[in-house]
């Protein structure tokens, strides 16, 4: 991103500033939309979906997305979902996979901070949640999700 910044003067171009709003340099293309759906199925869980490479990478988080540092929640990776799922809420009729009620809990943009073989560090900037999160793989489909640090403006607090 330093070359991008060197070639552009913020006052003379409407293009986004490199790293605007964050101190993190992002690899090109490593941003996208995200959605978190509250899914009242057989058991209540939250589905975290990150847009990447034209699909939504997905995790089911039974205890919900942590809202303070130090709390680690199991996240079970599930199948990639189509992008249209970003907008989905409604009733999945009885007898179908995931039968129950889906409602959008939060949505916004995410940005990759660092990807390693078994971990993903990323920013979430949503309407409800915002902060730097980490997913660490602990098994085939099992990951741990935790909040590494809330964003400085305190937006990680839930809206009341």
What is the contact surface with Mn ion in residues (CB under 5 A)? 39, 47
Least gap, CB of 9 to Mn ion (angstroms): 46
Pick the closer one to Mn ion by CB: 68 or 103: 103
Q: Is the dihedral of CA 79, 64, 152, 155 positive or negative?
A: positive
Pick the closer one to Mn ion by CB: 61 or 112: 61
Cα(108)–Cα(53) distance, rounded to whole angstroms? 17
**Beta bridge partner(s), residue 146:** 72, 134
Pick the closer one to Mn ion by CB: 14 or 95: 95
Pick the closer one to Mn ion by CB: 47 or 132: 47
The closest alpha carbon to 34, from 116, 112, 117, 139, belongs to 112
Least gap, CB of 76 to Mn ion (angstroms): 10
**Beta bridge partner(s), residue 52:** 55
Specify the DSSP element, H or E, that contains 6. helix 2-6
Least gap, CB of 87 to Mn ion (angstroms): 16
Give the Å distances, CA to CA, from 11 to 3, 8, 23, 25: 17, 9, 20, 21
Least gap, CB of 37 to Mn ion (angstroms): 7
Output the residue with the shortest Cβ distance to Mn ion.
Answer: 39
């Amino acid at each position: 991103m330093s070359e991008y910044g060197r070639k552009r003067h913020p006052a003379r171009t409407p293009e986004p500033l490199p790293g605007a709003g964050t101190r993190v340099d992002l690899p090109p293309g490593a941003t996208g939309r995200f959605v978190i759906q509250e899914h009242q199925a057989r058991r209540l869980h939250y589905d975290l979906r990150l847009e990447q490479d034209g699909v939504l990478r997905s995790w089911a988080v039974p205890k919900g997305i942590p809202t303070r540092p130090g709390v680690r929640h199991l996240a079970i990776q599930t199948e990639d979902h189509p992008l249209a799922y970003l907008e989905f809420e409604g009733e999945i009729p009885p007898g179908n996979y995931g039968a129950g009620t889906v409602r959008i809990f939060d949505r916004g943009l995410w940005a990759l901070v660092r990807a390693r073989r078994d971990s993903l560090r990323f920013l979430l900037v949503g309407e409800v949640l915002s902060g730097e999160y980490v997913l660490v793989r602990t098994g085939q489909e099992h990951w741990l999700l935790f909040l590494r640090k809330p964003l400085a403006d305190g937006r990680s607090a839930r809206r009341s």
